[in-house]
Amino acid sequence: MRLVYAGRTFLAGQDVVTLLLEYSAALARARTADNVQLRTVDPDGTVEEISLVIGAGIPILGETSHAVGPGPANGGAIEYMRGELERLHSVDPAG
């Protein structure tokens, strides 16, 4: 899946991009922000670590791509965001 952030495009697995968008929306509802580190693939094929600030007012876009393969491993980021989403939902059950 393609991730567009701050004018740059990265490729990452659909699972992590979808979760990143969900987490960003939850942070926006809670009127807070966070910094998330992901492993992505640059358009030239380089695997890199990126840090994203996500939350209210920070545009981020996920879109389908025709890239083949699961994308770089992001198990740690996925575990972190799921835990934070659970925490946010327990603070605001309506969120």
User: What DSSP string runs through 24-79?
Assistant: HHHHHHTT-EEEEEEEEE-TTS-EEEEEEEEETT--EEEE-----S--S--HHHHH
- Do residues 63 and 14 make contact, with C-beta atoms less than 8 angstroms apart? no
Write out pLDDT tens, residues 33-79: 999 999 999 878 889 999 999 999 899 999 998 887 778 999 999 99
Q: Above pLDDT 90, what percent of the chain?
A: 75
Which residue did the predictor score with more confidence, 82 or 45?
A: 82
What is the sign, positive or negative, of the torsion defined by CA atoms of 15, 18, 20, 26? negative
Query: Does residue 95 register a pLDDT over 70?
Result: no
- Do residues 34 and 53 make contact, with C-beta atoms less than 8 angstroms apart? yes
Question: What's residue 4's pLDDT?
Answer: 94
Mean pLDDT for the chain overall = 91
Q: Rounded distance, CA 28 to CA 56, Å?
A: 4
Distance of CA 59 to the CA centre of its chain: 12
Q: Report which of 63, 76, 85 is spatially closest to residue 14, judged by C-alpha positions.
A: 63
